[in-house]
A and B are shown apart, each in its own frame.
Chain A
Amino acid sequence: MSENKHLLEVEDLHVSFFTPAGEVKAVGGISYTLDEDEVMGIVGESGSGKSQEAYAIMGLLQSPGKVIGGSITFEGEDVLAKSKAEMTAFRGSRAAMIFQNPMTSLNPVYTIGNQLIEALVTHDKSISKEDAAARAMEMLTMVGINNVEQRMKQYPRELSGGMRQRVMIAMGLICHPKLLIADEPTTALDVTIQAQILELMKGLQKKTHMGIIFITHNLGVVAEICDKVCVMYAGKMVEQGPVDDIFYSPAHPYTEGLLRSMPRVDADSHERLIPIEGTPVDMLNPPEGCPFAPRCEYCMKVCLQKMPPYVEVGEDHRSACWLRVQEALEKKEGKNDG
């Protein structure tokens, strides 16, 4: 490991759901590090385990889901070893999460102000009511809400979708966490509102220098906001690297396929899309070997038998693909010969 301490270190994390139909390996071995002031995107299709992985960090996994292996280290502390009370203190104050649907994650029967103040008071019992209210209003102003005094008295249903997501962000940041996990925060929003929220998050990130994990399926959003990217497929991390490397020299056929299959709004001519054939993996009966093999155009015999190891294909750029393993071996042999 490197000498300087990372903000968050996830090592070989495994999460499984023990359903009546059998074990579903939602997350099958994920490792990454996140530093302060860094934005990491986690991309994947629905069911690829990208949200479950984040829930595991926050200790929010729902039964029958369990972390069955690996470690999560936050500022040198083992998150998985924390007790329930310690996790409650950890959540919100040091690491916060915002969710996809702001309507269902805000409590409909409390006012906005009430909910913001509650978040503060939970983590700081000594704070006075006036101070808490002032802080809440300051946060609302920071996320670009005007008329804050009136907004504090309103209920979530009185706000629009974009407004609610701003309130969620304000609530997430009210205790100055060092890590923010944003689970598809713009997916439920319209493009013009999405643009507003992305600009807001970029601005806040520059101000607070927090680390952000941005979970999304939209590669356009990733290109916009992230410094590095982790691509997930069927619970496995298939590729990880700096954002430019992922977009300009993808080293995994799945990433390549995703990029190729997306129409671009700034395209000059009409080109036929090149889709990824086949259907996503049935997580109850995942294929042996590489999960992407059945849909992969370069599929080899070995792909169907064994999961490939991670190969460094560039600086901080890793990919799990037998093709890269082969290339690495050839390179090594070439060096030995020469």
Chain B
Amino acid sequence: MAEKLLEVRNLYKYFPVKGVKGPGVQAVENVSLYIEKGETLGLVGESGCGKTTLGRTILRLHEPTAGEIVYSGETIYEREYPFDRQEVAQKDAEGKEFTRQVLVKKSVPKAKAVDMFPLRRKMQIIFQDPAASLDPRMTVGEIIGEALDIHKLWTSRAQRTERIKELLDRVGLNTEHANRFPHEFSGGQQQRVGIARALAVEPEFIVCDEPISALDVSIQSQVVNMLEDMQQELGLTYLFIAHDLSVVRHISSRIGVMYLGSLVELAESYELNKNPLHPYSQTLLSAVPVPDPEVSRSRQRIVLEGDIPSPMNPPTGCRFHTRCPYATERCKVEAPEFKEHEPNHWAACHLLDK
């Protein structure tokens, strides 16, 4: 087995909401995963499932609420879970009693965290909307150069200019583009600038947060191919976040499926596609339209009822039970454990226990 570059254990991220008691928005709930050196881990899920928050929390762009993050053997963050789960008896509208789980804050020791500055050189991110993530008042050269300045990666002006040119060349832009502003570029070119900026500090690990969903169909594949080439040449490790399952399936060696803040399944990309274990993954796969009229006419589709519940007040037990066609009484009370059901195939579902 290859070396684990990054490992996340029981990571939580809650966003407190003003005026609301309790933990607020429970965006990431008890996620554990690891990423091996040189691989691409895909992360899929619907909007609001916390995949972007997870990506950013791993980089500590958001401070985690609890959990442990280990990067190349070094623990960069560790904190105990600061809530107690308590059962509270309540009466519903008809006067029937039921118990509800509430989270009560408790005091835990201060988080152990390291200074992220040196790590920023190793861990980078590519954002979804290239137009919004590039400063409109800086030229492309300045944007890329800024990263070099911050980490003092040059000794002479000439070397700095040379490096910027090299980076532009690497992402398929012309060297004269260094003097232009972001608005002078098309969406695909802007995304290339975003990638060049991330590459400037020679990172090992890049979180690609929906890097192609803002691009036109005919441009998407250009960027996907470029990301793949760079991975081969520079030995990069990716966490590839997207909602488009077909793209994630193409680029990733393993895929994690998220639902409402929790990781529900994690498996090798081929395996997940052929043999999805979790009911949500099965639905998600069957919902993706396939560009082939015969296939889409013949296949059976699982259509889910209803919408995603609010992460402010997630369902108890398994978070998917409100929409799951196979939900049992047990699913309503007990959260399933995320465990290895088949070799290298992890899932969190009570149905798989038998």
Contacts and interface: CB of A to CB of B under 8 A. Distances in A.
Given A192-B46, A263-B250, A275-B221, A224 B284 contact: no
A223 B292 contact: yes
A83 interface: no
A288 interface: no
Contact of B249 (A222, A223, A265, A272): A265
Interface residues of A, number: 45
A277 B225 CA distance: 11
A261 B295 CA distance: 18
Given A160-B307, A163-B307, A270-B250, A265 B218 contact: no
A279 interface: yes
Interface residues of B, number: 42
Contact of B218 (A162, A192, A261): A261
Given A279-B186, A279-B219, A195 B287 contact: yes
A198 B297 CA distance: 13
A273 B227 CA distance: 12
Interface in B262-288: 273, 283-288
A293 to B, nearest CB: 15
B288 A223 contact: no
A3 interface: no
B291 interface: yes
A192 B260 CA distance: 14
A190 B47 contact: yes
B224 interface: yes
A221 B246 CA distance: 13
Given A163-B307, A261-B217, A275 B225 contact: yes
Nearest to A162: B307
A45 interface: yes
Interface stretch (A26-34, A88-96, A117-125, A212-220): A212-220
A262 B283 contact: no
Contacts of A280: 186, 216, 218-219
17 contacts: A45-B218, A190-B46, A191-B284, A191-B287, A192-B283, A198-B289, A199-B303, A219-B291, A222-B291, A258-B218, A261-B218, A263-B250, A264-B291, A264-B292, A266-B290, A266-B295, A273-B221
Interface of A: 45-46, 160, 162-163, 190-196, 198-199, 217-224, 243-244, 247, 257-259, 261-267, 270, 272-277, 279-280, 295
